[in-house]
Amino acid sequence: MRQLRRAAAERLREAGVASPERDADLLLAHVLNVPLGRLPLVDALAPEQEAAYDALVARRAAREPLQHLTGTAAFRHVELAVGPGVFVPRPETELLAGWAVEEASAVPGVPVVVDLCTGSGAIAAAVKDEVPHADVHAVELSPEAHAYARTNLADVDLRLGDAFAAFDDLAGTVDVVVCNPPYIPLEAWESVAVEARDHDPHLALFSGQDGLDAMRLLERRAAVLLRPGGVVGAEHADVQGESAPGVFAATGRWVEVSDHTDLAGRARFLTARLAR
């Protein structure tokens, strides 16, 4: 058993997978339908389990996302259904979701939260899970991603459509707008990790020549949706720590425009407050 795990990890390492040992163990736990902590208690695999494991390791070695192989992704305190056609949520986005949770929790009464470009529904699901009394709304343009969000979201107003033209009925009433928009410049195609470039929908990745087209649209839409004094938070690329907040600062509509780093110290998301 230990030799099987070691061989799988080595195969993934040679293929350039960033976390080969963990991925090998997660795939094995998935095949056996046991928690990671119980793997050392397993003595041997049945032939059909070994064949299934070998097939999954081969697909991961071909750089198919781990979450596509298991069908799930953990995000803060929720488990999300994911697969081909939807952006796989990243751990760093949990920081933006945590900010949205804190802001919603600080609103007296029932906070109104809108998640634009919801994808799998990760941020909306986290907010509803941690602030259950919140009135949460989400929108996704892709029908494929919307189908996953529908599976993942309960008690959330989920809509299919253009995030930057949605929720006219909420104009001027929203407390928190949160968004993980596409932000990769088209010129950065070659630098994108294989798992994302070849498997995540390009609609969720690329945003014009400078990567800020969606951010500009978000700035305008958030200004329409938020009540005076409401807040917006948006993820961006680590090289956009000045340019992304600059989109908001340049318009004169916002105060308290700030940028925030992730746990590795990289610029990760911006926040701003609509002027009163």
| Structural domain boundaries enclosing 17 | 2-62
- Which CATH number goes with the domain that contains 153? 3.40.50.150
Same domain, 108 and 214: yes
CA distances, 117 to each of 41, 59, 98, 160, 205 (Å): 42, 28, 17, 10, 11
Residues 265, 271: Cα–Cα separation, whole Å: 17
Residue 126 lies in a domain: yes
Tell me the pTM.
Answer: 0.85
The pLDDT of residue 229 is 98
The number of beta carbons lying within 10 Å of the beta carbon of residue 104 is 24
- The residue behind tokens 């006219």 is 168
Residues 124, 263: Cα–Cα separation, whole Å: 22
DSSP for 130-176 reads HSTTSEEEEEES-HHHHHHHHHH-SSSEEEES-GGG--GGGTTTEEE
The pair of structure tokens assigned to 261 is: 């780093």
CB 129 within 8 A of CB 77: yes
Tell me the pLDDT of the chain (276 aa) as tens digits.
Answer: 778 888 999 999 999 998 999 999 999 999 999 988 888 888 888 889 999 999 999 999 998 889 889 999 999 999 999 998 888 898 999 999 999 999 999 999 999 999 999 999 999 999 999 999 999 999 999 999 999 999 999 999 999 999 999 999 999 999 999 999 886 655 544 444 554 544 455 444 444 456 788 899 999 999 999 999 999 999 998 888 999 999 999 999 999 999 999 989 999 999 999 998
The pair of structure tokens assigned to 88 is: 């796989």
Same domain, 44 and 153: no
- Which CATH number goes with the domain that contains 7? 1.10.8
